[in-house]
Amino acid sequence: MKKITLYIILFLNLTFTYSYSNNKLYEKIDLFGEVIEKIKKDYVDDVNESTMMDSAINGVLQSLDPYSAYMSPELFSEMQTDTRGEFGGLGIEIGMESGVVKVISPIDDTPAAKAGIKAGDYIVKIGNEQVQGKSLMEAVKLMRGPVGTSIELTIRRKNVKKPLKFKVTRKIIEIKSVNSEIVGKRKNLGYIRLKSFNENSDKQFLDIVKKLEKDSKINGYILDLRNNPGGLLTQAINITDFFLNDGEIVSTKGRKASETRKFFARKGDQVKGKPIIVLINNGSASASEIFAGALKDHKRAIILGENSYGKGSVQSIIPLRNGGGMRLTISKYYLPSGDSISEVGVTPDIIVEEKGDDFKINSKSDNQLNYALKLFNS
Neighbours of 148 (CB within 10 A): 9
Q: Which of 83, 199, 88, 66 is nearest to 140 (CA)?
A: 88
Q: Are residues 54 and 12 in the same domain?
A: yes
Is the pLDDT at 77 greater than 60? The verdict is yes
- Identify the pLDDT of residue 377: 79
Q: Are residues 252 and 193 in the same domain?
A: yes
Q: Are residues 350 and 276 in the same domain?
A: yes
Q: Are residues 372 and 227 in the same domain?
A: yes
Cβ(73)–Cβ(51) under 8 Å? no
| Overall number of domains in the chain | 3
pTM of the entire structure? 0.79
Q: Are residues 95 and 148 in the same domain?
A: yes
- Identify the pLDDT of residue 7: 47
Is the pLDDT at 4 greater than 60? The verdict is no
Contacts of 192 by beta carbon, 8 Å cutoff, 6+ apart: 178, 179, 180, 205, 208, 209, 221, 222, 223, 224
What residues are paired with 96 via a beta bridge?
101
323 or 97, greater pLDDT: 323
From 286, 308, 313, 331, active-site residue:
286
Q: Which domain holds residue 325?
A: 178-377
Is the pLDDT at 220 greater than 90? The verdict is yes
What residues are paired with 253 via a beta bridge?
332
Average pLDDT over residues 95-101: 80
- Among 108, 140, 174, the domain-final residue is 174
Burial per residue of 93-117, b for 16 or more beta-carbon CB atoms within 10 angstroms, e otherwise:
bbbbeeebbbbbbbbbebbbbebeb
Contacts of 337 by beta carbon, 8 Å cutoff, 6+ apart: 293, 297
Average pLDDT over residues 134-140: 81
| 191 φ/ψ angles, rounded to the nearest 5 degrees | -95, 120
- Identify the pLDDT of residue 175: 72
Average pLDDT over residues 92-112: 84
**Integer Cα distance of 31 and 15 in angstroms:** 24
Instruction: Let me know if 297 is a catalytic residue.
Output: yes
State the chain's mean pLDDT as an integer.
Answer: 85
Q: Are residues 215 and 158 in the same domain?
A: no
Label residue 85 by pLDDT band (50, 70, 90): very low
Is the pLDDT at 84 greater than 50? The verdict is no
Label residue 8 by pLDDT band (50, 70, 90): very low
Label residue 6 by pLDDT band (50, 70, 90): very low
- Among 120, 141, 174, the domain-final residue is 174
State pLDDT tens for residues 59-75.
888 888 888 888 888 87
From 311, 313, 331, 366, active-site residue:
311
122: left (phi over 0), alpha (psi -120 to 50) or beta: beta
Instruction: Let me know if 286 is a catalytic residue.
Output: yes
- Identify the pLDDT of residue 291: 96
Average pLDDT over residues 95-116: 85
- Identify the pLDDT of residue 92: 87
Label residue 83 by pLDDT band (50, 70, 90): very low
Cβ(216)–Cβ(273) under 8 Å? no
Is the pLDDT at 186 greater than 70? The verdict is no
Contacts of 168 by beta carbon, 8 Å cutoff, 6+ apart: 90, 111, 112, 115, 117, 150, 151, 152, 153
- Among 35, 52, 73, the domain-final residue is 73
Q: Which CATH number does the domain housing residue 373 bear?
A: 3.90.226.10
**Integer Cα distance of 177 and 250 in angstroms:** 22
Instruction: Let me know if 63 is a catalytic residue.
Output: no
Label residue 15 by pLDDT band (50, 70, 90): low
Q: Are residues 162 and 184 in the same domain?
A: no
Q: Are residues 268 and 135 in the same domain?
A: no
Q: Which of 339, 311, 346, 306 is nearest to 96 (CA)?
A: 311
Q: Are residues 202 and 303 in the same domain?
A: yes
What does 165-191 look like in DSSP terms, one character per residue? Answer: EEEEE-EEEE---EEEEEE-SSS-EEE
Q: Which CATH number does the domain housing residue 134 bear?
A: 2.30.42.10
Average pLDDT over residues 50-65: 85
Is the pLDDT at 166 greater than 60? The verdict is yes
Q: Are residues 313 and 355 in the same domain?
A: yes
**HEC assignment per residue over 214-271:** HHCCCCEEEEECCCCCCECHHHHHHHHHCCCCCCEEEEEEECCHHHCEEEECCCCCCC
Q: Are residues 121 and 182 in the same domain?
A: no
Strand pairing report for 171-174 and 86-89: antiparallel
Q: Which of 169, 129, 128 is nearest to 147 (CA)?
A: 169
Q: Are residues 358 and 224 in the same domain?
A: yes
